[in-house]
Structure 1
Amino acid sequence: MRRILFLLVFGIAGTATLIGLGVWQMNRLAWKHSVLTEIDRRIAADPVTLPVNPDPEADKYMPVQVTGRVGSEELHVLVSIKHVGPGYRLIAPFVTDEGRRILLDRGFVPSDEKDAPRNHGAMTVTGNLHWPQESDSYTPETEFDTNIWYARDVPAMAAALETEPVMLVARNSTGPAVTALPVDTRGIPNDHLQYAITWFSLALIWVAMTASFLWRTRARKTG
């Protein structure tokens, strides 16, 4: 009897814990949905003028429109686009009519267009401010000799192109062969539903295992 009681308590406690973790993940899912909805709303808002001192946290995703000149220098960030293949994001300096020099993410070109001539000069660009967090311990070092970067590192790129540490990601086309890659929320991870399903599945397995142990223990006692 004592063994059966122990298995029953252990099974109920484990099941309750696993269900609790699943419920917590569902609550996190609802929270994440609200966060992503707010980010989407902010991204799609009407553009404003470039702030005097943009803040990487408060002004992230802010829609901005600038007029000025795109420089001919470029940094190339290796990326791969679904259904398109490998290529490069083009990061260039942009000097506004007010004399400010910022980073402009012009968009994507295929690998064979990496070093092709591109238009630069006078341009009006609408986009969103962004400070992407793309580097981690597995990110390869920048290949300066071939001008290949593996992440958009705003401070490092600003130092390389002598700009403010501010990046504007273009929404509109900045050249005939350049495909804009606007800021969106698709790259923001939201795995809470998968986690919730995992915890609830484990709870079912725990219940099944507990029932099996109880049945086998009872069978031995009555056998």
Structure 2
Amino acid sequence: MLALLGMALFFAFVGLGTWQLQRRAWKLDLIERVTERVRAQPVAAPAPAQWPEVTAQQHEYLPVTLTGRLLTQKTVLAQAVTELGAGFWVMTPLQAADGSQTLVNRGFVPASEREAWLPAAAAETAAAPQSITGLLRMSEPGGGFLRDNDAAQQRWYSRDVAAIAAAQGLERAAPYFIDAGRPGQPVAAQTWPRPGMTVIAFHNSHLVYALTWYGMALMVLAAAVIVVRWEKRRALPAHKTL
């Protein structure tokens, strides 16, 4: 029975280690594809007919452009922590000529600038359309760590597109949002909101996990060797003293 348990654990740990190596290969491929995607020339943002086909694998961080009028009175502020400190993302819907809306993350503002970007203090909807270039991002449903979004109180801890659209009465909202600007672009020091602050990073600890699982498999193997040796010694006849 003990031998069967040891074999089961050994093969399970080896299987988990191998799975982590496969995940690592997938993650490295994803990082390479996203890096190439970010450097590509911007294309038109997916139109409403294409929305059902938008996926993180194919579209996350895709440089896009879109044109429309910013609905500044429907701006929401989503909490953010960046290299500039704590503050907020300024999320404003942009309405296209066909009546569809796309949430645009216009950039970061520090906590000291919060009042200036609240909807009540925002200017009226821009009269002239404008073009925005940025990176397509997928919705962040739910909220932040241990904090749920509260639409009634306008407290947003994540950029939950569906929840923000419902709270702001956006009837034809895209299932994604746009981070205005592109990482590394020059921006004046005191420009608020500060665009181009998208952090493109992927957690990749799969090699560490794989080595951990393989290490546990070796520990099981070593324990089996010790048990076998101990059993053999116990089975030897005891020496008699003359």
TM-score calculated relative to the size of structure 1: 0.77
Q: Secondary structure at the match of 2:44?
A: coil
Q: Are residues 52 and 24 of structure 1, via their aligned partners in 2, closer, same or farther at CA, if it must alter by over 3 Å?
A: closer
Question: Do 2:100 and 2:173's aligned partners in 1 also have CA atoms closer than 8 Å?
Answer: no
Q: Secondary structure at the match of 1:168?
A: strand
Following superposition, the deviation at residue 162 of structure 1 comes to: 3.9
Q: Are residues 134 and 143 of structure 1, via their aligned partners in 2, closer, same or farther at CA, if it must alter by over 3 Å?
A: closer
Question: Do 1:43 and 1:183's aligned partners in 2 also have CA atoms closer than 8 Å?
Answer: no
Question: Do 1:103 and 1:168's aligned partners in 2 also have CA atoms closer than 8 Å?
Answer: yes
Question: Do 2:78 and 2:156's aligned partners in 1 also have CA atoms closer than 8 Å?
Answer: yes
Q: Secondary structure at the match of 2:79?
A: strand
Question: Do 2:108 and 2:197's aligned partners in 1 also have CA atoms closer than 8 Å?
Answer: no
2:161 maps to: 154
Extract unaligned runs of 5+ from structure 1. none
Q: Are residues 193 and 135 of structure 1, via their aligned partners in 2, closer, same or farther at CA, if it must alter by over 3 Å?
A: farther
Q: Are residues 217 and 168 of structure 1, via their aligned partners in 2, closer, same or farther at CA, if it must alter by over 3 Å?
A: same
Q: Are residues 16 and 156 of structure 1, via their aligned partners in 2, closer, same or farther at CA, if it must alter by over 3 Å?
A: closer
1:212 maps to: 226
Cα distance in structure 1, aligned partners of 2:69 and 2:221: 66
Q: Are residues 135 and 189 of structure 1, via their aligned partners in 2, closer, same or farther at CA, if it must alter by over 3 Å?
A: farther
Q: Output the amino acid matched with 2:94.
A: F
Question: Do 1:26 and 1:193's aligned partners in 2 also have CA atoms closer than 8 Å?
Answer: yes
Following superposition, the deviation at residue 214 of structure 1 comes to: 2.2
Cα distance in structure 1, aligned partners of 2:12 and 2:212: 13
Following superposition, the deviation at residue 85 of structure 1 comes to: 3.1
Question: Do 1:93 and 1:161's aligned partners in 2 also have CA atoms closer than 8 Å?
Answer: no
Question: Do 1:142 and 1:148's aligned partners in 2 also have CA atoms closer than 8 Å?
Answer: yes
Query: Please, which moves more after superposition, 36-45 or 134-143?
Result: 134-143
Cα distance in structure 2, aligned partners of 1:60 and 1:116: 30
1:94 maps to: 94
Give the CA RMSD over aligned residues: 3.3
Cα distance in structure 2, aligned partners of 1:14 and 1:59: 40
Following superposition, the deviation at residue 65 of structure 1 comes to: 1.6
Q: Output the amino acid matched with 1:88.
A: F
* % identical equivalent positions: 27
1:199 maps to: 213
Say which of 130, 133, 136 aligns to 2:137.
Answer: 130
2:41 maps to: 46
Following superposition, the deviation at residue 143 of structure 1 comes to: 5.2
Q: Output the amino acid matched with 1:217.
A: E
2:77 maps to: 76
Following superposition, the deviation at residue 60 of structure 1 comes to: 4.3
Question: Do 2:142 and 2:149's aligned partners in 1 also have CA atoms closer than 8 Å?
Answer: no
2:113 maps to: 113
Cα distance in structure 2, aligned partners of 1:126 and 1:184: 16
Question: Do 1:77 and 1:149's aligned partners in 2 also have CA atoms closer than 8 Å?
Answer: yes
Cα distance in structure 1, aligned partners of 2:141 and 2:205: 18
Cα distance in structure 1, aligned partners of 2:155 and 2:8: 54
Q: Secondary structure at the match of 1:115?
A: helix
TM-score calculated relative to the size of structure 2: 0.72
Cα distance in structure 1, aligned partners of 2:234 and 2:181: 70
Q: What is the aligned length?
A: 215
Q: Are residues 180 and 150 of structure 1, via their aligned partners in 2, closer, same or farther at CA, if it must alter by over 3 Å?
A: same
Cα distance in structure 1, aligned partners of 2:34 and 2:67: 25
Q: Secondary structure at the match of 2:132?
A: strand
Cα distance in structure 1, aligned partners of 2:47 and 2:11: 53
Cα distance in structure 2, aligned partners of 1:99 and 1:70: 12
Query: Please, which moves more after superposition, 17-26 or 109-118?
Result: 109-118
